[in-house]
Amino acid sequence: MILPFDVAPRESVAINAAIKPPTIAKKYTLILTMVQETLAWFTDKQSPYPKIDVTVTSDS
């Protein structure tokens, strides 16, 4: 996903993301992070990121 504009330090931008769930029903941790292409993942630079516990359940 490309951000709609450059985001400076301490600025923010809201984005929508479609997340496809795994097919195996169990508990997971969803980690949302970003990457600056050809440089680094934000998490590698100790940037804070949300970690969300989710439970995938069966359709049947």
Q: How many domains, the chain?
A: 1
- Going by pLDDT thresholds of 50, 70 and 90, the confidence category of residue 15 is confident
> How far is residue 45's CA from residue 31's CA, in Å, rounded to a whole number?
15
pTM over 0.85: no
Q: Write the pLDDT tens digit of every residue in 21-34.
A: 999 999 999 998 88
Domain of residue 3: give its range. 1-7+15-60
CA atoms within 13 A on the CB side of 57: 2
Per-residue confidence (pLDDT) for residue 59, from 0 to 100? 73
Judged by phi (left if over 0) then psi (alpha if -120 to 50, else beta), residue 46 lies in: left
